[in-house]
Chains A and B, each alone.
Chain A
């Protein structure tokens, strides 16, 4: 059974077809890249999976239909995501951002929180420990108390990545995690992606524009163009497909 299966997913905004019968299946532990030229519908596909947009078709996560569920219900099932532009809470510290990302796993009752009962304190400490493990994985120890807005952009991207990881998801949706990063930061990111794939065994759906990173890291690649599937398969095969090259570079007239 596939970890995440998308069947005939379509999305329309008025007369504009953003996604047209897109289907793919991601296996457990796989690093699945979603690529395509600008406006191909990659982020829209991610938004449909995480429940922000409502498409038609079917999205099954670990055998369960999640299409039509609210985003917070989908996150609760263990499907976390990052955002293209970070969308971090700038006023909050790195720790607070990560703890917020872990919200779905913290089940303390507001009435108990008002009095900060021992049970709440125990929960806060336990979740702090869990979040510290994530901080350790992505090497943010130095910055745990810094307000996120004060950090350089490259680090902010890593915080966004860590915030999604803080949920301890079984599947992680990454929306262009490397956009705007320099070479060194990209190499760090690649290291972290491989680490969570191999150490935490997280399934990853990854939108990316850096073909070098994709051919080095991805297990499989799915190419979208104008909302349709163009190709799918091993990176070395797909990235040499004439149709894919044409979509990216254009064809000679």
Chain B
């Protein structure tokens, strides 16, 4: 699920409960501790620009994780993820603007919007598969964007809706550092929800539906029910990400949710590695940071000011090229590279890899 199969030797278990534990070896415990320490220390070391990047990665991670659940595990393709983020953002924006709803109302309201949209746009999945399903989810995107645009023009917010920063228990969330921790927690919670679902009955049912629907059905799995369930869970998670996005930016406008955003989410799970939660996280970080990387690389070139207008084009092109390179040379994505590294160092400096499936 989250890890590759070969693991350290010498760890023995005496009960099946121990087999369910997420952290099993000392190395894992130490790496997790280091990771948590780094994540907590980062906002005290990093400047505002780096903090903003981290926040963007966390927001993208929630969307990528939910799309991974839907596409990477349950096998249902969606091109409507930008629409779902927009739905969450607009629910938040409209409620905050019209009835001055506080954070603790807009967040569940966004989740509810996601659940409703997931139910409606999960229905075609009961009949359609693959590309046909993708096109039907595309409709979701356009409907949400249309409704959002209508609201903006009718109410005269043609440039977008401004939202006041949320207050949590009387504490106004304006500080970048506070935002960092809120979004880190939200991303960590989404990750835990995905891990937990995937290691229990629903996760197995989704993977079975992905592999072969008739067989899943014959094994006693309610295929229609589980398809709707994954759409609902994925959509509500994404809408919550949209709500957080709206507050974080303090501003909602339809321009932010074009089709390219949906493509970027699909790119995240492909570049990260299909069927892996770690892949969703790596992909989210990669796709979010990639444009900044290209820009800073271009800045190193001489006479770059003359071509300032072309940076966008270069960025899009580079993104396309990287997508193609991944599809051709590394279909397993970043997580494939990561696993190969892990396997290489597992018995390093010895040459032979352990037998696959020898022991988790």
Interface residues in chain A, defined as those with a beta carbon under 8 Å from any beta carbon in chain B: 50-52, 70-72, 75-76, 80-81, 83, 87, 89-93, 96, 99-101, 103-104, 106, 108, 110, 113-116, 120-121, 124-125, 128-129, 132, 143, 145-147, 150, 163, 167
**What 1/0 mask marks residues of chain B from 190 to 223 whose CB sits below 8 Å from any chain A CB?**
0001001101111111011001101111111111
Query: In the complex, are the beta carbons of B16 and A125 less than 8 A apart?
Result: yes
B219 adjacent to A104 (CB under 8 Å): yes
B205: A residues at CB distance < 8 A: 100, 103
Separation of A104 and B69 alpha carbons in the complex (Å):
22
Q: Could you say which of B200, B202, B208, B220 contacts A167, with CB atoms under 8 Å apart?
A: B220
| Beta-carbon contact of B196 and A87 below 8 Å | no
Contact A72 B193, CB 8 Å, known A89-B211, A120-B200: no
Q: In this complex, which of B201, B205, B215 has the most chain A Cβ atoms within 10 angstroms of its Cβ?
A: B201
Contacts of A93 in B (CB 8 A): 357
B218 in contact with A110 (CB, 8 Å): no
Contact with A along B246-286 (1 / 0, CB 8 A): 00000000000000000000000000000100000000000
User: In the assembled complex, which residues on chain B have CB atoms less than 8 Å from the CB atom of A145?
Assistant: 5, 357, 359-360
Find out whether the CB atom of A110 lies under 8 angstroms from the CB atom of B229: yes
- Given the known interface contacts A89-B208, A93-B357, A121-B17, the answer about A103 and B200 at a Cβ–Cβ threshold of 8 Å is no
Kindly state the separation between the CA atoms of A70 and B221 in the bound complex, as whole angstroms. 10
B150-163 CB mask vs A (1 if < 8 Å, else 0) is: 00000000000000
Q: Is the interface of A mostly helix, strand, loop or mixed?
A: helix
Convert B332-360 into 0s and 1s, putting 1 for each residue whose CB lies closer than 8 angstroms to a CB of A.
Answer: 00000000000000000000000011011
Q: Please give the distance in Å from A70's CB to the nearest CB on chain B.
A: 7
Kindly identify which residue among A75, A81, A124, A147 contacts B200, using a CB–CB cutoff of 8 Å: A124
State whether B19 touches A104 (Cβ < 8 A).
no
Of the candidates A52, A83, A113, A147, which one forms a contact with B202 in the assembled complex, judged by CB atoms under 8 Å apart?
A113
- Chain B residues whose CB sits within 8 angstroms of the CB of A106 once the complex forms: 201
The interface residues of chain A lying within 8 Å CB-to-CB of B215 are 83, 87
Find A100's partner among B19, B204, B356, B360 (CB 8 Å cutoff).
B204
C-alpha spacing A199/B310, complex, angstroms: 75
The docked-state distance in angstroms from the alpha carbon of A125 to that of B15 is 9
Determine whether the beta carbon of A110 is less than 8 Å from that of B208.
no
Judge if B99 is at the interface, Cβ distance under 8 Å.
no
B20 interfacial contact with A, CB 8 Å: yes
Question: How many angstroms from the CA of A128 to the CA of B197 in the assembled complex?
Answer: 17
Q: Please, how many angstroms separate the alpha-carbon atoms of A227 and B229 in the complex?
A: 40
- Within 8 Å of chain A (Cβ to Cβ): is B233? yes
Mask: chain B, 3-20; 1 = CB below 8 Å from A; 0 = not = 001000000000111011
Name the one of A70, A75, A91 contacting B207, with C-beta atoms under 8 angstroms: A91
Complex: how many Å from CA A83 to CA B218? Answer: 10
CB neighbours (8 Å) of B20 from chain A are 121, 124-125
